[in-house]
Amino acid sequence: MHICKVKGNVWATRKEESLKGQKFLIVVNVDERQREIGTPYVAIDNIGAGVGELVIVASGSSARKVSDESMPVDAAIVGIIDSMEIDSGS
Strand partners, 4: 29, 55
pLDDT grade for 63, boundaries at 50, 70 and 90: confident
The region, left, alpha or beta by phi > 0 then psi within -120 to 50, assigned to residue 44 is: beta
In a domain, 87, yes or no: no
Domain count, the chain: 1
The Cα–Cα gap between 21 and 2 comes to: 24
In a domain, 85, yes or no: no
pLDDT score at 68: 67
pLDDT grade for 88, boundaries at 50, 70 and 90: confident
In a domain, 86, yes or no: no
In a domain, 88, yes or no: no
Domain, as residue range, for 27: 2-66+76-80
The Cα–Cα gap between 41 and 87 comes to: 29
In a domain, 90, yes or no: no
pTM for the model stands at 0.87
In a domain, 49, yes or no: yes
pLDDT grade for 90, boundaries at 50, 70 and 90: low
Is the pLDDT reported for residue 69 higher than 70? no
Q: Are 16 and 72 in contact (CB under 8 A)?
A: yes
CATH number of the domain to which 47 belongs:
2.40.50.220
